[in-house]
């Protein structure tokens, strides 16, 4: 049975969205998946004129009996509806939904109309790969009826070698900096290096340095630090707002960048991945960013080296696509068992 994966590719190479999708396509070549790429422009008109035609052309390549992975979202209801109308009645095509974001959870958690629209789309698939247990629990609570598999972490292809760091090295933060307003309020003694688009350089404390924006595929070449920070929202006291609350459910892609580069993690205590970080000894949790200096000052070199050893083991897994391969192999096992019934 032939295997395919649909990958939406956006134009801006300095954000992580396309990097996450293209990495999954890259790793799944090892499992003999053929990549069906769709260019996703920002313009709604261009999506209607060009992306739909491109999507349907790619879907025409899919054989009558096949495994088809859909990387969601394509950030267009128009394109997603076009996909469903083309594929939903082809029962011999087994459809796996791979979630990068859940839009109703991120933006419309209290909007039942938007939730129902998105969950209805999800329930047209045979299997859904969710980020983690907390996201899967939410999906079940709002009506997902299909089998759910937890990814645990996004994988991250990285060509540069890891450089062993020290706990005294600067903390690293990577992302779309305009969304990270907490950075303008952060006052800690530990040096912090920022990477990403849309900085607010004039509003940062003197120990916070902006290091530039790079293509996601080349960002790892520039990062050397002691820890990677995973935080979002407007406040340093807790993760707030739409992006901050979303951390209770999602796997931020930046955590995969940091681990791939061998950096232990500093992450919000209430985030979905906090227990994963603690259980695997990959870093430490904070309620409030102002506690970072105190925690680091009490940390011994031996403590740091233990975390770094654990991180390097996960770095190898992430760099080789271990998590997506495990999730897809589990999906294929479920599909095979259903076919044998």
pLDDT in tens, 204-263: 999 999 999 999 888 989 999 999 999 999 999 999 988 899 999 999 999 999 999 999
Q: Mention every residue, 6+ apart, whose C-beta is less than 8 A from residue 163.
A: 224, 262
Reported as a single tens digit per residue, the pLDDT across 92-111 is 999 999 999 999 999 998 89
The residue among 280, 293, 258 whose CA lies nearest residue 168 is 293
Residue bearing tokens 């083991």: 313
What pLDDT score does 122 carry?
Answer: 97
Beta strands in the chain (DSSP E): 2-10, 33-40, 66-72, 93-99, 127-130, 148-150, 171-174, 192-195, 208-210, 227-230, 265-268, 283-286
Residue 283 backbone phi and psi in degrees, to 5: 160, -155
What pLDDT score does 27 carry?
Answer: 98
What pLDDT score does 340 carry?
Answer: 67
| CA distances to 44, 69, 95, 251 from 85, in Å | 19, 16, 14, 30
Residue 257 · residue 228 · CB < 8 Å:
yes
The residue among 37, 67, 14 whose CA lies nearest residue 218 is 14
Q: Which of 183-199 are b and which e, b meaning 16 or more Cβ less than 10 Å from the residue's Cβ?
A: beebebebebbbbbeeb
The residue among 260, 253, 332 whose CA lies nearest residue 5 is 332
Average pLDDT over residues 267-288: 97
Tell me: pLDDT of 46 over 80: no
Peptide bond into 73 cis (omega under 30): yes
Reported as a single tens digit per residue, the pLDDT across 255-273 is 999 999 999 999 999 999 9
Residue 225 · residue 110 · CB < 8 Å:
no
- Could you tell me the two tokens for 265? 């993690």
What pLDDT score does 36 carry?
Answer: 94
Q: Which of 94-130 are b and which e, b meaning 16 or more Cβ less than 10 Å from the residue's Cβ?
A: bbbbbbbbbebbeebbeeeeebeebbebbeebbbbbb
Average pLDDT over residues 299-323: 96
Average pLDDT over residues 276-299: 96
| CA distances to 8, 54, 271, 324 from 319, in Å | 21, 31, 23, 11
Residue 96 · residue 129 · CB < 8 Å:
yes
Q: What is the β-pairing status of strands 265-268 and 127-130?
A: unpaired
Q: Mention every residue, 6+ apart, whose C-beta is less than 8 A from residue 148.
A: 127, 128, 129, 130, 136, 139, 140
Residue 18 backbone phi and psi in degrees, to 5: -70, -35
What pLDDT score does 16 carry?
Answer: 58
Give the pLDDT band of residue 40 (cuts 50, 70, 90).
confident
Provide the CATH number for the domain formed by 171-319 in this structure.
3.40.50.2000
Q: Which of the 8 DSSP states describes residue 170?
A: P
Tell me: pLDDT of 14 over 50: no
Residues spanned by CATH 3.40.50.2000 within the chain?
2-155+321-340, 171-319
Mean pLDDT in the chain? 92
- Could you tell me the two tokens for 57? 């052309």
What pLDDT score does 12 carry?
Answer: 57
Give the pLDDT band of residue 41 (cuts 50, 70, 90).
confident
What is the percent of the chain where pLDDT is above 70? Answer: 96
Written out in words, the top-level CATH class of the domain with range 2-155+321-340 is alpha beta
Tell me: pLDDT of 22 over 60: yes
């Amino acid at each position: 049975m032939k295997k395919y994966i649909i990958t939406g590719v956006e134009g801006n190479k300095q954000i992580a969205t396309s990097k996450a999708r293209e990495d999954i396509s890259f790793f799944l070549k090892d499992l003999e998946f053929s990549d069906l790429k769709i260019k996703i422009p920002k313009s709604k008109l261009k999506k209607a004129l060009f992306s739909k035609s491109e999507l349907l052309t790619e879907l025409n390549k899919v054989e009558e009996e096949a495994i088809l992975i859909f990387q969601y979202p394509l950030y267009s209801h128009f394109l997603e509806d076009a996909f469903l109308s083309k594929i939903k009645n082809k029962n011999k095509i087994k459809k796996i939904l791979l979630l990068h974001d859940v839009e109703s959870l991120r933006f419309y958690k209290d909007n039942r109309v938007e939730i129902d629209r998105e969950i209805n789309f999800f329930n047209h698939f045979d299997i859904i790969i969710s980020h983690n247990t907390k996201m899967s629990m939410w999906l079940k609570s709002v009506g997902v009826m299909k089998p759910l598999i937890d990814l645990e972490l996004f994988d991250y292809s990285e060509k540069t070698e890891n450089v062993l760091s020290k706990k005294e090295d600067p903390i690293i933060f990577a992302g779309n900096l305009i969304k990270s307003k907490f950075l303008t309020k952060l006052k800690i003694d530990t040096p912090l290096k920022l990477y990403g688009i849309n900085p607010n350089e004039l509003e940062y404390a003197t120990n916070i340095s902006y290091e530039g924006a790079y293509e996601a595929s080349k960002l790892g070449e520039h990062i050397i630090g002691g820890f990677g920070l995973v935080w979002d929202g407007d406040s340093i006291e807790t993760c707030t707002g739409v992006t901050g609350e979303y951390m209770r459910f999602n796997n931020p892609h930046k955590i995969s960048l940091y681990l791939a580069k061998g950096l232990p993690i500093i992450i919000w205590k209430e985030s979905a991945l906090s227990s994963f970080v603690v259980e695997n000894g990959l870093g430490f949790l904070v309620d409030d960013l102002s506690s970072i200096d105190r925690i680091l000052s009490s940390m011994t070199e031996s403590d740091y080296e233990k975390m770094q050893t654990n991180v390097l083991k996960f770095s190898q897994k992430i760099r080789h696509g271990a998590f997506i391969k495990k999730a897809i192999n589990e999906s294929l096992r479920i599909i095979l068992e259903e076919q044998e019934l």
